[in-house]
Amino acid sequence: MKKLAVLWSLLALLVACASTPITAQSQHFGIMVAVSPSGIGVRPITITLTGSDKKPINDASVTVFAVMKQHGMLAVPLTLTPDAEGTYTSDVLDLNMAGEWQLQLHIVHGNVNDTLTIPVVVN
């Protein structure tokens, strides 16, 4: 459990300091998230999914909930559009306030449901 807490802290630091894609592993999927933390407002987001065999997953449903808990903001679901080679995109992720956000990813592939939270600090 302590290792998981350290991993999440490092992941948060990486997301906060750079707009380079972040790689994470959920229970069932390899996930790469590309979103810029710079500036307030609407921005693109790209998520790439792979299976345990490292092959792209092209037929999943990916929904993102952007949550800012410290201000009690309710998340509006954003369903991403499937693209080529396991990528899912949207141009309208709205991070409308500076501070700590959580991108809660909900992924459905066949009968597998998975969730993962990615921290983002918008500056």
Q: pLDDT for 93-122, tens place per residue?
A: 999 999 999 999 999 999 999 999 999 888
Residue 117, amino acid: T
Q: φ and ψ at 72, to 5 degrees?
A: 65, 25
5-63 residue pLDDT tens: 434 443 444 444 446 788 999 999 999 999 987 889 999 999 999 998 999 999 999 99
pLDDT at 74: 74
51-98 residue pLDDT tens: 989 999 999 999 999 999 887 777 889 999 999 899 999 999 999 999
* Dist CA 11 CA 108 (whole Å): 23
For 20, other C-beta atoms within 10 Å of its C-beta total 10
Positive or negative, the Cα torsion across 77, 82, 83, 85?
A: positive
Domain layout of the chain by residue ranges:
2-122
Asked whether 1 and 107 are in contact (CB, 8 A), the reply is no
Q: Which CATH class is domain 2-122?
A: mainly beta
